[in-house]
Amino acid sequence: MTSAKLVSLHRRESGGEDTLWAVVASMGKRHRVAEVFRSHAAAAADMAWRTQQVQAYVDFLRRNEQPVPHYSLAPIKRTDLPRQWKPLPALGFLRGQFI
């Protein structure tokens, strides 16, 4: 019975291995994949954390006439990520590292 469960899990992992969940950061018309996760729940938790971090600085950004980044979730295939892609720090936009 245990080996049947292992085979079943292996099949699920290999079938969805190529599809990931991306947390997408948007500022105006520019979009960037901030982070990728294997599960929707992990991506949603990261998006909520990033949104909370941005909200802490929203007044600062508006006073300095800077766009406020917004985060969303999207399914993405591993092959759709750029070759040099690196995760985006949640507050990287404060250091000019958004794009």
What pLDDT, on the 0 to 100 scale, is given for residue 92? 64
Q: Tell me the pTM.
A: 0.73
**Secondary structure (3-state) at 26:** strand
Mean pLDDT by 10 residues, the chain (99 residues): 39 57 89 93 96 89 84 93 85 59
Nearest to residue 32, comparing CAs of 69, 78, 75?
Answer: 69
Q: Say which DSSP state 39 is in.
A: S
Evaluated on CA atoms 69, 73, 74, 76, the torsion sign reads positive
Which amino acid, residue 53? Q
60 token code pair? 């600062």
